[in-house]
Copies of this chain bind each other. A is one copy, B any other.
Amino acid sequence: MANAYHHGDLRQQAQHHALAVLHEHGDAALSLRALAKQLGVTTPALYRHFRNRDSLLAALATDGFQRLRQALLAVPGGHPRDILIGIGLAYIGFAQAHPNLYRLMFGGQRLPAGQHPELDAAGLAAFAVLEDATAAGQRSGYLGDTPLNTLTAAAWALVHGFAQLSIDGHLPPPEQAPHLARAISALLIDGTRAPAPTQNNNSNNL
């Protein structure tokens, strides 16, 4: 259904090369004309596979969310604290490994919600991993009884903000401050952690 007719499946090749350009030079450097030339094809040919330039970018971002989801799912199990910190580090690590892709995924305004259903679905699926981990941490009793929405928003905001600041050069680079990401993740954990029931008499945990 989406396979080779004349030149081989152009859509997949275009997306592949576009991802390479995006990764190395950022989305602003991604030109349909240059891309078509690189693929040995005329520019309007791309319009048979993507409605417009934003549609191509949306496809790249969708793929990015799916890869982000896989990265988060790959975090090994264990103690809730380790899982939560592991997910935070995996999230931040993904952004640091693919800064331009991450910027596109959260570019805001460029790929508005509602216009690219697959993109929205992929984003939600990635978010769900984070939410599930938070919910599990809460079920296990490790996290306090803060509403799940609030917990998840705080966790997401922290890792997303850290990722964004890091890849934009507003924070010391990871090789210079290797423990920073872990430290800030731990800070939020210790804030959301329920007080130890043995030492403290507020035993109203659920």
> Complex: how many Å from CA A150 to CA B169?
16
Query: Is A94 interfacial (CB 8 A cutoff)?
Result: no
Query: Is A28 interfacial (CB 8 A cutoff)?
Result: yes
Question: Which A8-40 residues sit within 8 Å CB-CB of chain B?
Answer: 26, 28
What residues of chain B lie closer than 8 Å to A106, measured between beta carbons? 164, 168
Question: Which A144-196 residues sit within 8 Å CB-CB of chain B?
Answer: 146-147, 149-151, 153-154, 156-165, 167-172, 177, 180, 183-184, 187-193, 196
Instruction: Tell me whether A160 and B153 are in contact in the complex, defined as CB-CB below 8 angstroms, given that A199-B200, A202-B196, A202-B199 are known contacts.
Output: no
Query: Is A49 interfacial (CB 8 A cutoff)?
Result: no
Query: Is A108 interfacial (CB 8 A cutoff)?
Result: yes
Verify A180–B113 contact, CB threshold 8 A. no
> Complex: how many Å from CA A160 to CA B108?
14
Instruction: Tell me whether A108 and B164 are in contact in the complex, defined as CB-CB below 8 angstroms, given that A192-B191, A202-B199 are known contacts.
Output: yes
> Complex: how many Å from CA A101 to CA B100?
20
> Complex: how many Å from CA A26 to CA B110?
9
What residues of chain B lie closer than 8 Å to A99, measured between beta carbons? 108
Contacting residue for A146 out of B26, B150, B171, B187, CB 8 A: B187
Chain A, residues 76-99, CB within 8 Å of chain B (1/0): the string is 000000000000000000000001
When C-beta atoms are compared, the residue in chain B nearest to A112 turns out to be B169
> Complex: how many Å from CA A191 to CA B106?
27
Between A and B, 20 residue pairs with Cβ closer than 8 Å are A26-B109, A103-B109, A113-B169, A146-B183, A147-B183, A149-B172, A153-B162, A153-B180, A154-B187, A157-B158, A157-B162, A157-B165, A157-B171, A160-B165, A161-B164, A164-B164, A188-B191, A190-B205, A199-B200, A200-B200
Task: Please name the 6 residue pairs, one residue from A and one from B, whose CB atoms are nearest each other, closest first.
Answer: A191-B191, A161-B161, A157-B161, A157-B162, A154-B184, A160-B161
